[in-house]
Structure 1
Amino acid sequence: MSTSTRPRNALYAQSGGVTPVINASAWGVIDAVRQHPERIGSLFLARNGILGALNEALIDAATLTDAQLASLKTTPAGAFGSCRHKLKKDAEFDRLVALFEAHDIGYFFYNGGGDSADTCLKVAELARSRGLDLTAVHVPKTIDNDLPLTDCSPGFGSVAKYIATSVREAGLDIASMAPTSTKVFIMEVMGRHAGWTAAAAGLAAANADTPPHLILVPEIAFDEARFIAAVSQTVERVGYCVVVASEGIRDGEGRFLAESGATDAFGHAQLGGVAPVLANLVKAKLGAKVHWAVPDYLQRASRHIASATDLEQAIAVGQAAVGFALEGKRSVMAAIVRDQATPYRWHIAAVPLADVANREKTLPRDYLDAEGYRLTEAGREYFAPLIRGEAFPPFVDGMPALPDWRFDNVTKRLVPFKD
């Protein structure tokens, strides 16, 4: 907790891949800060994540209109911009220190996934090493649901709902045309190292003969012969086959089926599309007509079918992050703790950021059956409450309302940054 008697200022930023409800977490932070004017002065919103901090591109949250604030709870993507950037240069750390001092920043809230947790931890360690009075708290989000120490990650529930809904609807389409047209449909979903999103698609299945018939996840090595046999048997039994595959499925040697050879800012391999790889394999081996789809950004921008549970949790972690900071809890993440599954009850707790950064939570093996292709009751019990409830955005002329994300930057106090 700050030893100063004057209210210190705060900095919030969004980072990494955005979600249907990341802006709701921003609303939660802003709302909580406004409830404590005696403890926190100005709240600055960095443009494009940590890059906005480095470039001193800051928005004063006090200048947001009521309409803009309301839109934060109903609009996907990052209202203030996001980024993928790994802090690693001394010049960057020096610049952050200068920024914190110039704007009297005493609280830092970083809203992101695993890599963002690493950035938040680095900022906390930087402050400690430089003798800065700064409290850093991580606000979780990731559609991949792979953050450890939290029951789920805000953003995931809405993506799971979108994918399961899409699979159910597409499955009906394939079933209606299968006798004379497409026999196999493959949907590729996000998930580099963890199969949470693909497994959640299993919620669409009412029984063994309804889609998705086969789920492929990174945690279970892809076996070509076994997969082709399973597709063939499903088509013979049901008349068609719907497959949901994580982008990061690997072969028995641990190699991505669709690695492109490129890497991102954090050194992660860029994947080139596993759906067409699987489609070509099925066509070559079985001669069946195959269609494939990659929802890609559509799944993480699917605010129109967001989960009400997910929206509520996204707001809650933002509000709790501010509360933890005011309690003097440094270098923590606002985690969701499941109290019980039926009815679903949860609360927010502070967990050590050092136990979250650079770690991944993988899909439990018992969430899929012995063959590794179908969701089990244990998996269904975990996923089902996360997609419950509808939280529709306002519509104008038949379309989701478009937000007005025009903001003015605060006056800069530092010279332009050059790394």
Structure 2
Amino acid sequence: MGLKGNALFAQSGGPTAVINSSISGAIQEAAKHKDITAMYGSINGILGVLNENMIDLNKESKRNIELLRVTPSSALGSSRHKLKNEEDFEKLLKVLQAHDIRYFFVAGGNDSMDTANKVHKLAVAKKYELRVMGLPKTVDNDLAVTDHCPGYGSVSRWLAMAVRDAGLDTEAIYTSDTIKVVETMGRNAGWITASTALARLKEKDAPHIVLLPEVPFNQDKFLSALDKVYKKLGYAVITCCEGLKDEKGEYLTSSKRSIDTDKFGHKQLGGVGETLVSIIADNMKIKARCDKPGTIQRVSGMAQSKVDQEEAFISGAMAVKHGIEGKSGMMVTLVRDSENPYKCSTGLSDLDNIANKERKVPAEFISADGMYVTDKFLQYVTPLIGGPLPEYARLEKNFIAKKLTK
């Protein structure tokens, strides 16, 4: 006989273009099972549970739940709240017990999976029958075990389009701002920055240099590589990760203010782009410009990948199916079954294998000089963005003969 009780859904960490699709898939699947007697949504993640700020999802229209599939950001609200001690976890469990929550579905990244894992273990220790399932979510694409993460395909598509446009702008201006630096999100893993290489179809296309935190930044090597590009093309576009580190393993830039450090001890990063602009100006005597998209890159629905959206939806539905089957303390993973044609299915992994672990860009995806990505990476990321970028024209530029100048 199945476990009867209520289901609670929570979203945690940074919003993405498809985290709502995961929740939509989970809610629609949960509605099919009689063992789930009611469905609640926690407002602002774990904080919503602690404060009993929960909504009745059964009272939402089917149309609204379906529209979540194409709605960016976190419809339930999110938070970066770390449960500090045993008292916090005990309080959370009491709330779950008071509301007869027997199914707890958490969509989030590394820290969120750690919280879900601890809740699962506490429930087991207290002999409270609770099924806790993780739904993978992070634009950083740094969750262990899973081939890739929902959210990554969409941020990759958005940035590829943005960097391609930034490249055309830089190429067109001709007499000023002929070097552009685009700073992307990413703490210790450079997956997001690496994806900007999707914008480059020909040698002239941006980006020309891709700087990842997996490769310690060496100023001389960077300037040498940039000088070669600039002399050949007369312009250059660099993409860099905000988490870029020096050869001592220190962030090139990070906020020193305590207010800019979250509950998990993560300092707010940013400013690498402007640092590179200064390095270029001081050493090459060339004016450069920095573009920094900020959080819009992770959440924008303008370039939502259809593949990403569908895989997010399926991940949510599968989390519920596994919960109904009796699984707990696990996260749904994405498994790449084939490359050409691209096919993906889902798997499962214990939260112990995922919580607080970080998957970085492997060496085989990074060029030998550390200034770009490899074809193997492009083969990995291309199917995730849901089809080719919109086609652009590039004039052949067949010049006529000059008559007044030589």
Q: TM-score range by the shorter chain?
A: over 0.9
| Correspondence 1:48 to 2:44 | yes
List per-residue Cα deviations over 1:122-149 (Å, max 9, x = no partner).
1101111111100100001000000011
Which runs of structure 1 show a deviation greater than 4 angstroms over 4 or more consecutive aligned residues?
none
**Structure 1 partner of 2:329:** 331
From 67, 70, 87, the equivalent of 2:66 is 70
Within-5 A mapping of 1:16-415: 16-36=13-33, 38-178=34-174, 180-261=175-256, 262=258, 263-389=261-387
What is the distance in 2 between the residues matched to 1:336 and 1:70? 22
Closer, same or farther in 2 for the Cα pair 1:339/1:138, shift >3 Å? Answer: same
List per-residue Cα deviations over 1:54-75 (Å, max 9, x = no partner).
0000111101123422331121
- Contact 1:282–1:288 (Cα < 8 Å) also in 2: yes
TM-score (norm 2): 0.93
List per-residue Cα deviations over 1:293-338 (Å, max 9, x = no partner).
1111110121111111100111010000001111111111000000
Deviates more, 1:277-286 or 1:108-117: 277-286
From 4, 9, 15, the equivalent of 1:7 is 4
What is the distance in 1 between the residues matched to 2:55 and 2:285? 57
Provide the secondary structure at the position in 2 that maps to 1:325: helix
- Contact 1:212–1:244 (Cα < 8 Å) also in 2: yes
Deviation for aligned residue 1:375:
2.3
What is the distance in 2 between the residues matched to 1:365 and 1:8? 47
What is the distance in 2 between the residues matched to 1:71 and 1:46? 19
Closer, same or farther in 2 for the Cα pair 1:272/1:173, shift >3 Å? Answer: closer
List per-residue Cα deviations over 1:79-122 (Å, max 9, x = no partner).
01000011122331221121111111111100000110001001
TM-score (norm 1): 0.90
Closer, same or farther in 2 for the Cα pair 1:368/1:207, shift >3 Å? Answer: farther
AA at the equivalent of 1:246? C
- Contact 1:308–1:390 (Cα < 8 Å) also in 2: no
Deviation for aligned residue 1:32:
0.4
AA at the equivalent of 1:116? S
Provide the secondary structure at the position in 2 that maps to 1:264: coil
AA at the equivalent of 1:70? E
List per-residue Cα deviations over 1:323-377 (Å, max 9, x = no partner).
1111111111000000111111010111111000000010011212111122211
What is the distance in 1 between the residues matched to 2:97 and 2:362? 45
AA at the equivalent of 2:29? A
Deviation for aligned residue 1:390:
8.9
AA at the equivalent of 1:322? V
Provide the secondary structure at the position in 2 that maps to 1:259: coil
- Contact 2:163–2:206 (Cα < 8 Å) also in 1: yes
- Contact 1:13–1:45 (Cα < 8 Å) also in 2: yes
Unmatched 5+ stretches in structure 1: 392-419
What is the distance in 2 between the residues matched to 1:305 and 1:270? 26
Provide the secondary structure at the position in 1 that maps to 2:302: helix
What is the distance in 2 between the residues matched to 1:140 and 1:390? 25
Percentage of matched positions with identical amino acids: 40
Equivalenced residue count is 386
**Structure 2 partner of 1:410:** none
- Contact 1:12–1:109 (Cα < 8 Å) also in 2: yes
- Contact 2:211–2:372 (Cα < 8 Å) also in 1: no
List per-residue Cα deviations over 1:259-301 (Å, max 9, x = no partner).
2124211012221321111111111111112111111111012
Deviation for aligned residue 1:6:
6.3
AA at the equivalent of 1:314? A
Provide the secondary structure at the position in 2 that maps to 1:10: strand
- Contact 1:306–1:390 (Cα < 8 Å) also in 2: no
Provide the secondary structure at the position in 2 that maps to 1:268: coil
Deviation for aligned residue 1:231:
1.3
Deviation for aligned residue 1:211:
1.1
